[in-house]
Structure 1
Amino acid sequence: MTKQEVNLRDSAVMRWSALGIVAFTMMAAYFVNDIMAPLKTMLESNLSWNSSDFGYFTGAYSFLNVFLLMLIWGGLMLDRFGIRLTGKLATILMVVGVALEYYGITVKAADTTMIMGHKAGVFFASAGYSIFGVGAEVAGITVTKIIAKWFRGKEMGTAMGIQVALARIGSQAAYSVAIPIAKNTSLSMPVIVGFILLVIGMFAFFAYSVMDKKLDKQDKFIEEEEESKFSFRDVKDILINPGFWLIALLCVLFYSCVFPFQKFASELMVNKYGISDDIAGTIVGLPALGALVLTPLFGSVVDRRGKAASIMMLGSFMLILVHLIYAIPFLNNWLIAITLMIVLGIAFSLVPSAMWPSVAKIFPARQLGTAYALIFFIQNIGLWGVPNLIGLILDKYCVVGTSGNANIYDYTLPMVVFTGFAVLSLIVAYLLKVANRRYGYNLEKPNISK
């Protein structure tokens, strides 16, 4: 590197530009991830799905990641072969998966073909969503390692917060536009929109790879990595670290109270609070909208003030209040529903802004890809199991009537289940704070080096 050449990481313009490019890819991924959630009732009416079918489809996102360990292999690949190759393959998988999901949605309801005990359309849509899930999760850990690479010793919490916030914009857009698009065009059109965004996101990541390659040539990051290169022995070191298990358990419990809940929440808004289905998705997307401002703000607090472990406890406690009040049958005013979604958005911003930078404090750089992959793997167990559980509960215990070809559900019991997960997340967050004092993870200290 010449004396006049500015290191890309030290250039604020370049590191924030790199963040913006990969954040767009994740924003497209989150749009696709949530685009089907508001359409649950329409899937029942138009394609003869039921809640169990919807739960199976939603859980399929994590099926390959959990049962074929694809996410773990992706993490190992990330640490062994690097960001560029892993990220490119991940974006390609997302595009292929959504194409298959589209095919499943276009299978006619009259087709009674059963595949592995499921309707043909449900099976193909779920298979595509599962392939997409592999790509999305591997892309997620890749982007997280990218941020750790570009922002180490700098505004890492803020950067991760902004990335999460932009991803939530994708979620909010999906919840807001899914039903209007489907009603005015076709049930499959929202998936087509997601496919187009993902193709653009794939090319965006390929463009980022040029920047990443240049950084590797001029920066010492890779040289340091090679001096202490990842080995499979590092997996053992990760697994015996108490901080890993506490972060992983907090992750799976917290996110099991958020993402699966949001998949069913549009129907909750309609059935319990009498909110029109045209705007129910927008209300469910409020946490994503709030995250646009709050996650970078909280990330900046963690960067400059620290207190990550305490922030994770606060977010978990707020989640308990949200689900507990949703579970109370007679509190059915629409203003309560909106208020709780806003509180959920605050909790949803607090925990990620503190959790993900904390992983970079607990593990060295050479282990980060695998550590994130293992944490995401455990998270995916919840993202697979909880939607299936909620769908089963709804079909067996919560049907209280019908409207057209769709069932009407009482969501009290599912919300009690979510409340239980939230209570467990608070307990684990407290244990993480205790472990931080015992093992010296420095989670309560600021991220920015002085």
Structure 2
Amino acid sequence: MTASDRGVLPRPPALHRWLVLLFVSLAMFGNYYIYDALNPVIDLLREQRGFSYRQIGMLSTAYNVAALLVLLAGGYIIDRWGTKQAITVFAVICLLAAALTAATPHFETILAGRFLLGLGAEPLIVAATTVLAKWFKGKELSFAFGINLSVSRLGSASADWSTSFASPLYTNWQDPLWLATAVAGISVSAALLYWMMERRAEGRFDLGTTGKTDKLELKGLYSFSASYWYIIALCVVFYATVFPFRTFAIDYFQQAHGLDREAAGILSSLLPVAAIFATPLFGLWVDRVGRRSLFMAVGSLVMLPLFLMVTYLPPGPDVSVSIPFIGGAQVPLTLLLVILLLGGVFSLIPAVMWPSVAYIVDARRLGSAYALMTFCQQMGWAVVPLVVGVLNDRFQAGPENPAGYTAGMWFYTALASLGLLFAYLLWRTESGPGGHGLERLTIRSASADG
């Protein structure tokens, strides 16, 4: 089909766009559940398999190393194969990875499973992001990103909630991971549904295009602006802080604060739960008021003291937390407030950061931009779990020595301070004459310009 042929086709109606969002988000739900399913069994791996914190960190790092190896090629594959084929292939890889992780008690096999998951999960995220940018640019893009992130994080929350609704499985480390393998089937089913829907839409609607992805050669990186690189830097330190903290959070709440597994799981789940509700609201808000770089700076400022608060402030009285259909728990007030604030940050920054790239990068390079952004994200994320694991082992962190976790919390704080610096530099650039409109563009102004 030629460009002129596409020009006479109508854009997809709203129903089609929202169905695309539903299927892509369900694919991401299963993807996030698989990744976070390891978190509630960390103590079981240490008790039943004798794993050290360093080995736990290696399981997380293996995922990131695999993602680093595949992401650049993944961006090329997405543009070469098309999003519908790419999403399905990567979802199947995630399913196989989940099964391999649960299959045997050997550290090397579990490590291989996490490595395989990295080969599928992160390119799946890039493919999903590219789909939404193609179908929703100029049509509530930030809101669509927010909904997608909310459903994805429901997968993370569900993995935490499994300590309650699937508590009988937690007599051993293996059964919860087999449950994750079953959930992985949701990703594959949703990906196939998206494939069928896009095939039906081809030739009937103008689906737009993100263009052919350029190869990410060093000589071409100069074409990205300073604002893009500040977003990259913020992305790196933000995810290198929040995701490793979530990896160890349930175990940390158990060992350092004396919570049982169900209470720790419910408390940990409040971070993605807060994001489930707040992310689309932040996205909808920013679509209408702009000020994207300012909001990223505010979120970075709020995150800065949180890890020191959870370390040094008194725990406060226990308060009741109840999640309908899941269960309830008594948790310390200080921990609850910190997790809710971190959940707000976890909602605000991604809801603004990812769609901002679509406004500052040429559409022909959007797939490359997102692939590079995720690639850089993985570089920072790969290092932090190993560092935290080594710090926990070196300072003999555990229930007999809760102070051993303090060094890791200071490390998270140092990363958060870098995030605030990069967010400030982005705000200063976008507030000046060289800005791309992140401070002023709203959905109304974008529609008028279009």
TM range (shorter): 0.7 to 0.9
Matched residues in 1 for 2:370 and 2:213: separation? 14
Alpha carbons 1:79, 1:370 under 8 Å: kept: no
Query: Which residue does 2:271 correspond to in 1?
Result: 287
Query: Which residue does 1:117 correspond to in 2?
Result: none
Alpha carbons 2:45, 2:51 under 8 Å: kept: yes
Higher mean C-alpha displacement, 271-280 vs 333-342: 271-280
User: Counterpart amino acid of 1:388?
Assistant: L
State the 1:438 CA deviation.
4.2
State the 1:310 CA deviation.
0.8
SS at match of 1:257: helix
String of CA shifts for 1:95-134, please: whole Å, max 9, x gaps: 111111112xx32xxxxxxxxxxxxx22211211111122
Matched residues in 1 for 2:101 and 2:222: separation? 35
Judged with a 3 Å threshold, the aligned counterparts in structure 2 of structure 1 residues 154 and 180 are, in CA distance, closer, same or farther, namely: closer
TM alignment of 1:26-425, pairs within 5 A: 26-66=28-68, 69-103=69-103, 106-107=104-105, 121-178=106-163, 181=166, 183-184=168-169, 186-222=172-208, 229-232=212-215, 236-241=219-224, 242-328=226-312, 330-331=314-315, 334-399=332-397, 410-425=404-419
User: Counterpart amino acid of 1:446?
Assistant: T
State the 1:408 CA deviation.
6.1
Matched residues in 1 for 2:246 and 2:34: separation? 14
Query: Which residue does 2:328 correspond to in 1?
Result: none
Judged with a 3 Å threshold, the aligned counterparts in structure 2 of structure 1 residues 132 and 446 are, in CA distance, closer, same or farther, namely: same
User: Counterpart amino acid of 1:207?
Assistant: L
Alpha carbons 2:163, 2:261 under 8 Å: kept: no
Matched residues in 2 for 1:189 and 1:401: separation? 25
User: Counterpart amino acid of 1:282?
Assistant: I
SS at match of 1:399: coil
Q: Percent identity?
A: 30
SS at match of 1:309: helix
Matched residues in 2 for 1:84 and 1:221: separation? 13
String of CA shifts for 1:16-55, please: whole Å, max 9, x gaps: 1110011001011111111111221111111111111111
List runs of 5+ in structure 2 lacking aligned partners: 318-331
Higher mean C-alpha displacement, 148-157 vs 363-372: 363-372
State the 1:409 CA deviation.
6.3
State the 1:235 CA deviation.
7.1
Higher mean C-alpha displacement, 202-211 vs 418-427: 202-211
Alpha carbons 1:7, 1:215 under 8 Å: kept: no
TM-score by length of 1: 0.88
Higher mean C-alpha displacement, 407-416 vs 203-212: 407-416
User: Counterpart amino acid of 1:296?
Assistant: P
Matched residues in 1 for 2:217 and 2:199: separation? 25
State the 1:180 CA deviation.
6.1
Matched residues in 2 for 1:243 and 1:80: separation? 28
Matched residues in 1 for 2:67 and 2:184: separation? 20
State the 1:244 CA deviation.
2.7
Judged with a 3 Å threshold, the aligned counterparts in structure 2 of structure 1 residues 50 and 57 are, in CA distance, closer, same or farther, namely: same
Q: How many residues align?
A: 423
Alpha carbons 1:29, 1:136 under 8 Å: kept: yes
Judged with a 3 Å threshold, the aligned counterparts in structure 2 of structure 1 residues 283 and 6 are, in CA distance, closer, same or farther, namely: farther
State the 1:329 CA deviation.
6.3
Matched residues in 1 for 2:56 and 2:165: separation? 20
Matched residues in 2 for 1:169 and 1:426: separation? 27
Alpha carbons 1:238, 1:244 under 8 Å: kept: no
Higher mean C-alpha displacement, 79-88 vs 54-63: 79-88
User: Counterpart amino acid of 2:292?
Assistant: A
Alpha carbons 2:11, 2:206 under 8 Å: kept: no
Query: Which residue does 2:437 correspond to in 1?
Result: 442
Query: Which residue does 2:423 correspond to in 1?
Result: 429
String of CA shifts for 1:320-362, please: whole Å, max 9, x gaps: 1211212326557611001100000000000011001101111
Alpha carbons 1:401, 1:409 under 8 Å: kept: no
